Structure 1
Amino acid sequence: MTVRVASPVGGRVVPLAEVPDPVFAQAMVGPGIAVDPERAPADAVSPVDGTVVTLHPHAFVVATDTGPAVLVHLGIDTVKLKGEGFTLHVVKGESVRAGQPVVGWDPGKIEAAGYSPVCPVIALDAQPDELGEQRASGAVEAGAPLFTWHR
């Protein structure tokens, strides 16, 4: 089975190792890739078709119907903002399609508040060798392919 994971935000692809948080940089929660978002208000979109199984203002997890789940974390340490600056567009348990808006946010304001707006996109419970084609670098639009996950 192959899951195609799309970028939840527009911006520039960066390796997970460059994320300024050791939990993500060392792939402790799973392998993936990160996107340094454009600094304009935008909606973070679902990276896959599935069900929203975890939903916080700063992060969400969408589980596919076949099991694999993808974590999107909007910025680093943004949990400290206690939801300020984020707008939820869905509820936990809701079915979503890839590209559907999940959370509205403003990466520029996140950065101005002293936090990194970089967005890790993680294949939860995956082994590093399960990730196939990855967009290695460069610009990416929200909803564009980011990586494939072979499970």
Structure 2
Amino acid sequence: MTTVLAPVAGAAVGLEAVPDPVFSGGLVGPGAAIDPAREPGRALSPIDGKIVKLHPHAFVVVGDDGRGILVHLGIDTVQLRGEGFEPLAAEGDRVRAGQPVVAWDPAAVEAGGRSPVCPVVALDASEGSVTGLAEGTVGAGDELFEWR
């Protein structure tokens, strides 16, 4: 079982609330999302593992068990071409759960007309394997869900 931590502070919401059909339809995988606090902060690694993909607006951490977690900071933020995001780690780095990976400002994303909501997805997870979804307010580093 993998315990997945919240990468950012805010309100935990279901993926169906994400304003993007790829995430809300579960096409990437099951998981949860966080409507982040509108203040500058750092997105944390949700699990112990290795950063296998790192874009300014998104990253994937794969644990030693081969399970990968995608953290996407906002919706359509790829269009920002990295503006407003500061990577604090590099692809190939080993990280601990709770370690800062990217600094960003959700309020700036929202001011630019994009949703700052953050999908946190269990990649290649089977239907029903994600349980214990957090509800309400979560802090960065709090438990978000379990991947069984």
Matches within 5 A, 1:18-37: 18-37=17-36
| Superposed counterparts of 1:50-65, under 5 Å | 50-65=49-64
Give 1:20-99 correspondences, 5 Å limit. Answer: 20-99=19-98
CA distance in structure 2 between the partners assigned to 1:52 and 1:24 by the alignment: 21
Which letter does structure 1 place at the counterpart of 2:73?
A: L
Does 2:133 correspond to 1:148? no
Which TM-score applies when normalising by structure 2? 0.99
Which residue number corresponds to residue 113 of structure 1? 112
Distance 1:6 1:52 in 2: 15
Aligned equivalents of 2:132, 2:85: Cα separation in 1: 31
What's the RMSD between the two structures over aligned residues? 0.5
Partner amino acid for 1:78? T
Query: 1:42, 1:116 → 2: CA distance?
Result: 16
Partner of 2:121: 122
Aligned length: 148
What is the rounded CA distance, in whole Å, between the counterparts of 2:92 and 2:18 in structure 1? 29
Q: CA deviation at 1:128?
A: 2.2
Q: Which runs of 5+ in 1 are unaligned?
A: none
Aligned to 1:139: 137
TM-score, L = length of structure 1: 0.97
The structure 1 segments of at least 4 consecutive aligned residues displaced by more than 3 Å after TM superposition are none
C-alpha displacement of 1:127? 1.2
Q: CA deviation at 1:132?
A: 2.0
In structure 2, C-alpha distance between the alignment counterparts of 1:132 and 1:80, rounded to whole Å: 32
